[in-house]
Amino acid sequence: MSARLRNTVALVTGASSGIGEATALSLAAEGAKVAVVARRRDRLDELAGKIRAEGGVALVVEADITEQEQATAAVERVVAELGRLDVLVNNAGVGMAGPVLNAPAQEWERMLAVNLQGLLHVTHAALPHLLRAAEDSPRRVADLVNISSTAGRVARPGTAVYSMTKFGVNGFTEALRQEVMRQRLRVSVIEPGTVDTEFVTHSRDDIRASLDQQLAGMEMLRPEDIADAVSFVITRDRRVSVNEVLVRASEQTW
């Protein structure tokens, strides 16, 4: 294990699979105590077991962050049990593709709830603790990283509402960065392209078939590629603030 994040505490949402899981493992390997937050307790327990097997510290927090009370309680539990909060990675997200016409409203509501409201709930609860950590951390800095998407830069047919949420994440991240930049809290956004995760499985069967055809033959990014980007951002010297990282698959045009 590395020592670059020793004596720090990181919270990762959406940690039960994909980018969140890979990020939790990466930060633990850097020496951070990691709180893993998601709804699927069995997946979190398995992840925590991997971290502990490598000598790390992991705290499992089962929570639905779309519920403000649960999001707040999750953050408060992390601080109470691990003593502080130096890093927040807002990774939880869901995407469901399809045209706007005749789209099920429940899909839109789910994306808005997870991608925007969930991120806001956790950020709101975590900010005071992150600012406090920035004051007394040996690193002299704290970090908040939001996971967005290339869909937050390029809108395409079939991604209207998903793009709306990710454009929103980008705008929120930049505004918050300017608000807290002088208080030693760095705020960054990572924009992954096509990653080999459960993302495609969230869409309806007919839409999923179209997505599979679109991605056929492309060598997609792996969750570890995005976790590397997150770790890079967080482990920079405090004088360096990496505000935005765009990571596309090599063959991706959008």
Q: Catalytic site residues?
A: 162
- Candidates 92, 62, 89, 58; CA nearest to 74 is 62
- Candidates 3, 2, 7, 4; CA nearest to 133 is 7
- Check if the beta carbon of residue 17 is closer than 8 Å to that of residue 198: yes
CB atoms < 10 A from the CB of 119, how many? 27
Q: Is 169 exposed, middle or buried (0-12, 13-18, 19+ CB in 10 A)?
A: buried
CB atoms < 10 A from the CB of 54, how many? 11
- Distance, CA of 76 to CA of 115 (rounded, Å): 21
Nearby residues of 185 by Cβ (< 8 Å), 6 or more positions away: 127, 130, 131, 134, 141, 142, 143, 144
Q: Take residue 152 and report the two structure tokens written for it.
A: 């937050």
CB atoms < 10 A from the CB of 136, how many? 10
- Please name the helix (run of DSSP H) or strand (run of DSSP E) that holds residue 121, with its range, or none: helix 119-136
What Å distances lie between residue 195 and 2, 30, 215, 249, CA to CA? 26, 23, 10, 8
